[in-house]
Structure 1
Amino acid sequence: MTNLNGNTKANSPAPRPLIISVGKRLRNSLNRITSSQSRIPVSPIIDPETFDWTAEVAENWRMIATEASQILRFRDAVPPLKEISPDHARIAGDGNWRSFFLVGYGFEVPENCARAPVTAALVKKIPDLNSAFFSILDPGAVIPRHRGVTRGLVTCHLGLSIPHPPEKCTMQVEDMDLHWNEGKWLVFDDSYFHQVHNDTDQRRIILLIQVKRPMRLLGRLVNDFALWNIRRSPFVQDARQNLGQWEEAFQNAERNEAA
């Protein structure tokens, strides 16, 4: 049933507050180092052409969208983000933001990759990949204002199925209102505050990619050390365990359709 090849059990809840507290205290200092070491602009919005791999993935967006739509046949078996990651409970809503992981913080989900083979093959070629998943936002969903854990990662959204009109499904990064378009990338630094509103009666589906920020040597060393610790923290290990439990639900949904 476990699909992340991990025998590591999630840590007990007790150390979580300490880990989170330490992480928050260090975040600003680490972000300052990252900013000084970055090889790309330190700005809320980043040109997709900054990354060579974005063109090839975008060229195949229709096949990626088809795989996502096939997975959404089993929508109720795709876990809400709050069920995967307890640390996202504040922003994850009431089950209206779902995530189908192919790779999470470097940990591959083999069963899910097999369900989306074209997408998986494309994302596995991305240099310095941290995470890759289909992000599904239901009609009326709101993701409140928040920011990511580190400036050492860059977040990239490829539009797959976008509500109409696009202006009614908005991501605000700092004071800028942004909209997704099918087959187009929206690349940003999620260490800046951002929020999302889907004010439509349609579902928004994107391919979300996170990659390491290109940096000079000191920045790479600091970033790799920070990510090493995040990967081993309850923030990630609990999610690995929870994803394994949801695999059974997806298999049951597939069997029910075949019956």
Structure 2
Amino acid sequence: MSWINRVRNALPFMAKKETTAETLWHKCPSCAEMIFIKEWEDNLSVCPRCDHHGRIGPAERFEQILDAGFILLPTPQVQEDPLKFRDSKRYPDRIKAARAATGDQDALINARGAIDDVPLVMGVQNFAYLGGSMGMGVGAAFIQGVNEAIARKCPYVIFTAAGGARMQEGILSLMQMPRSTVAIRKLHAAGLPYIVVLTDPTTGGVTASYAMLGDIQIAEPNALIGFAGQRVIESTIREKLPDGFQRAEYLLEHGMLDMVVHRSDLRDTLARVIGYLAPRAAA
């Protein structure tokens, strides 16, 4: 520790450098501007300078979208570390660290609530939890959300954010792709809407399954959406991909999305879409 830091820490009336940096300012990852943290939070974690949409977790998303009084659904219990996987760390150690960092039990959290008094079940993936990766826990939570929506006869809305399937669970993680697809068919058989909001980033097996099967596909501005990475695709086809490839606006232009919606407009947009797709519930 340098002498100036020792002096700073010894003086009670001086704020510690790390505390000031963490609690007062946020550095935008897009434009690198330093933003007063209260301004950042008041603007829904969207940069007021360049309009970059920051990544947020389930707690913030539920607060922004749902009416007050929503109820979190219990996290489904699944077998942890079924393959006894270890790379540079043991898989259980990675799970413990992710839970400590996020406060969530897994990467997908569901809540039942309402938007403008119209009931719905809403799921949110947390990219901060092991990259939002899809494992057995995420698959079980997705099915839980669908079953809850069927029981309550209301739409299921999911906010996706994932790097794909969870490698530590191997083939068991890939099995969640057909499981989630079957669950969506059950939701449709019950005549209930399934709405997807894709956030940055949504990639891999999540994109190849439930993230692209919505009745309505919405995305936040400039969200990265794709299956394989851009460099992998370029090296495979030996061509340079166009600017903005795999970004929300490019996908909207090419017919893969229905709309790109600013975070400040998401709540009103979802209320309107649910009113169109489930008029009886909205009445």
Q: TM-score, normalised by structure 1?
A: 0.28
**Normalized per residue, which structure has more strand?**
1
Larger RCO (CA within 8 A; separation ≥ 6): 1
Q: TM-score, normalised by structure 2?
A: 0.27
